[in-house]
Each structure stands twice: as structure tokens, then as C-alpha cells.
Amino acid sequence: MPKLKTHKGAASRFHVTGSGKIMRVKGPKSHLRLHKAKRVRRQFDETIELSPRDRKRISRLIPYGVK
């Protein structure tokens, strides 16, 4: 079989942990950030696990688990 190509846009947005979880960053992180509450700004810094529904789709885009 030929090598699979990694989708570079997905590789920059998602990363795979050592245990195999796919992690992502929350959406509107920097737009009008000063007007948001301090608690909300702090929550944007966290990476969260990808939804199980999206896991199959994204794992096809990053077949070799780009870290």
C-alpha cells in the first residue's frame, strides 16, 4: 500500500497524546478577548478531548498521529 498523506491543516489543529486521545483547542480564542470574562479567557487556554463522533473523521486526516 502507498503511504498516506497527513492533512497539514488538521495536524496543526489537533494533536495525539501518548495514550491515543485526540486533543483540540477551543474556537474563538483571540477575537475580542479583552471583553470576555476572566474565567472564559482562562478556559480558552485549555486543550480538550475531541468528541467521539469526530474522532474517526479526524483520525483519517492524521493517520500517523502527528504530535
Average pLDDT for residues 49-66, to the nearest whole number?
A: 90
- pLDDT digits over 28-50, tens only? 888 888 899 999 999 988 999 99
Residue 54 lies in a domain: yes
Residue 17 lies in a domain: yes
Residue 2 lies in a domain: no
- Specify the pTM: 0.76
Q: What is the CATH number of the domain that holds 44?
A: 4.10.410.60
Residue 29: strand, helix, or coil = coil
The count of structural domains within the chain is 1
The pLDDT value given to residue 33? 87
Residue 67: strand, helix, or coil = coil
pLDDT at 67 over 80: no
Q: How far is CA 28 from CA 24, 37, 41, 54, 63, in A?
A: 13, 14, 10, 19, 27
Residue 50 lies in a domain: yes
Q: Which domain holds residue 56?
A: 8-61
More confident residue, 3 or 28: 3
Residue 66 lies in a domain: no
Contacts of 26 (CB under 8 A, 6+ apart): 43, 44, 46, 48
